[in-house]
Amino acid sequence: MQFLQSDQLLDLLLRLRIISLQQRQFIEQQRSRQQQKLLRQAAKEGIADKNYPDLVDIIASLNLTVKSKKTGKEYAINEELMMRAVAKGKKIPFRRLDPLELDMKVATTTVSKSFASLQSVLPLKINNGMLEMAIYHPDCQPILADIEKTNQIKITPIIATRSDIRRIINEFFGFQKSIRAAENQFTSDNSSDALDIGNLERYINISGSQELTSSDQHIKKAVNHIFHYALDQRASDIHIEPKKDLSLVRFRIDGLLHTIYRLPKAVHSALVSRIKFLSRLDIAEKRRPQDGRIKIGARSGKDVEIRLSTIPVSFGEKVVMRMLDSDIIFRNIDGIGFSERDLKVYKGFMQSPHGIVLVTGPTGSGKSTTLYSTLKEIATPEKNVITVEDPVEMIHEEFNQIAVQPAIEVTFATILRNILRQDPDIIMIGEIRDKETAAHAVQAAMTGHLVFSTLHTNDAASSITRLRDLGLEPFLIASTLLGCMAQRLVKTICPNCKERFRVQSNELARLGFPVKAGKELILFRGKGCRECRGTGYKGRCGIFEVMPVSPDLKQIISTQMQSVDMKKIAIREGMTTLRQDAWQKVLRGITTWEEVLRVTAE
């Protein structure tokens, strides 16, 4: 494996114009001195790799740059740039490794960890009967031939950076070790029915919750790893699902579920028990749904709350955990994506001494973020903020948060019946579902309180008809409602790979966007990069439809006017619809028109 140590590498880099002739001379001059320097550093950091440093490491440490002929931009001559060149020269495909795209079982069982680290190779997955294998040394064919022989499978080599290979080896083999050890521990108790789940449950019952968590380092480690890995990957939800023969761990990242691990069925119950223990749920209760919360310390140093729910499904208990990042939930109200006009109108609602403000949208449309951010902004030491929620999503010490508990008949209605005696200034009601809750909201507003709540309707105007349908007197709605707002979340374009493109307006006009036909527009999109896992999107932002109840609307509410007609009046008075607001965000390069079509129906 000499190529990455040899002058052939310099020849190749020169031929592909990655380095200039002068840079080559500079590298040759500096080579031995830089090598000694890197070796000394490695000794200090305890890196024991006999192949370190090679010429790639040496060149990367010299901080050289190359100017692109095409774009005129300067690029660092780093490991990735060089390995892409090596791949090109050797006619082997190059790939950045995404842990979500590889099969953990294949990765960790084809070769041993020490072999993988020593040779800088990593089996990725089996594709069309071929084993895809990440390699660092382009001349490691003899090693690949050996692996082909022992595993009886043909290999497709793919060049990757050594840093990628190392990172994944450490991440995956460590996790695999914890899972294996846990599995062995559970199965060695009774070898005759080694993988029997009943057996495992007995083990947990015998050892008891206390002992399970304190003694079982492997399960603890595995659960910790899952949490931290989910945070690293910006997952919003973790699913742990029992299947017939295995336990599936999936993460939701930017709205899509990815399968992360397929674990042995034997550890499923122990993982679920560990998680239930952490959230103080009843470990013995496996037949009824339960919900709870866990707080974990992220590597970044801040606490992250996790809300979880367990439910029995065909093959055991399924756990779904939602990661609640307080930075995302408690935002600055100016930063959640309001247009200038919408922000002004909405802030007007917030400053009103009393009245009702309704936020509508389906589950997952960002209503909680809006409400929590609103309350955070208006909660001062002089104000008593009370929330009634089902369940309490995120705890904030400045609010008095009350959880609805239907099991003991503590419902929205019963809490609201008593809440006014708690002398609140601002009340947040998680959701208005029935006439009684709606009536309490109206009563609170009429007696001088500011009330925020949510409804499940499609647009702002429909919330008025919904209240009417629940049985509220129209004149009460007209006299208490300050405004309604509909919202959705759109995925935002990844800033790292954002690019402009030209589009004919005819096409967009046909889809219903407000553009003149026969024009050329410049819009934005994400090309797809490592940061966004090739999706072109990273993060999300709100789109809004803010409808203040104007004097004209107040008059109309008492008539039996339909929501479409109220919407027309609101638009005449300056309201932008969800789609119009979203379209503005397309023009400003925040999101794409495909996203707008996905989340808004006209």
Stretch that binds Zn ion, among 18-26, 416-424, 522-530, 594-602 (CB under 5 A): 522-530
| Rounded Cα–Cα distance for residues 239 and 276 (Å) | 14
Neighbouring residues of 383: CB distance < 8 A, sequence distance ≥ 6: 425, 426
Q: Closer to Zn ion at the Cβ: 61 or 496?
A: 496
Half-sphere exposure of 587 (CA within 13 A, CB side): 14
Q: Closer to Zn ion at the Cβ: 212 or 235?
A: 235
What per-residue string of b and e applies to 176-191 under the rule 16 or more CB within 10 Å gives b? bebbbbbbebbbeeee
Q: Closer to Zn ion at the Cβ: 12 or 532?
A: 532
Stretch that binds Zn ion, among 90-98, 254-262, 488-496, 589-597 (CB under 5 A): 488-496
Task: Say whether 562 sits in a helix, a strand or coil.
Answer: coil
Does residue 532 bind Zn ion (CB under 5 A)?
yes
Task: Say whether 81 sits in a helix, a strand or coil.
Answer: helix
**Range 491-510, binding Zn ion (CB under 5 A):** 494, 496-497
| Rounded Cα–Cα distance for residues 107 and 115 (Å) | 12
Helix (H) or strand (E) holding 388: strand 385-389
Is-contact 133 201, C-beta < 8 A? no
Least distance CB 532 / Zn ion (angstroms) = 3
146, 531, 552, 573: residue in contact with Zn ion (rule CB under 5 A): 531
| Rounded Cα–Cα distance for residues 30 and 400 (Å) | 65
Stretch that binds Zn ion, among 67-75, 140-148, 401-409, 520-528 (CB under 5 A): 520-528
The answer to whether the Cα torsion of 242, 244, 248, 252 is positive or negative is negative
The DSSP bridge pattern shows strands 385-389 and 400-403 to be parallel
Is-contact 61 42, C-beta < 8 A? no
Q: Closer to Zn ion at the Cβ: 270 or 494?
A: 494
Q: Closer to Zn ion at the Cβ: 185 or 592?
A: 592
Q: Closer to Zn ion at the Cβ: 338 or 537?
A: 537
Stretch that binds Zn ion, among 120-128, 285-293, 385-393, 523-531 (CB under 5 A): 523-531
248, 529, 571, 587: residue in contact with Zn ion (rule CB under 5 A): 529
Does residue 539 bind Zn ion (CB under 5 A)?
no
Q: Closer to Zn ion at the Cβ: 494 or 553?
A: 494
Q: Closer to Zn ion at the Cβ: 402 or 493?
A: 493
| Rounded Cα–Cα distance for residues 539 and 494 (Å) | 8
Does residue 106 bind Zn ion (CB under 5 A)?
no
Does residue 321 bind Zn ion (CB under 5 A)?
no
Task: Read off the DSSP letter of residue 94.
Answer: B
How far, rounded to the nearest angstrom, does the alpha carbon of residue 377 sit from its chain's CA centroid? 25
Question: What residue number has its CB nearest to Zn ion?
Answer: 494
Stretch that binds Zn ion, among 10-18, 266-274, 296-304, 526-534 (CB under 5 A): 526-534
Is-contact 578 545, C-beta < 8 A? yes
Binding mask 21-50 for Zn ion (x = CB under 5 A): ------------------------------
Least distance CB 492 / Zn ion (angstroms) = 11
Q: Closer to Zn ion at the Cβ: 67 or 588?
A: 588
Does residue 61 bind Zn ion (CB under 5 A)?
no
Helices (H) and strands (E) in the chain, counts: 23, 20
Chain residues in the site for Zn ion (CB under 5 A): 494, 496-497, 526, 529, 531-532
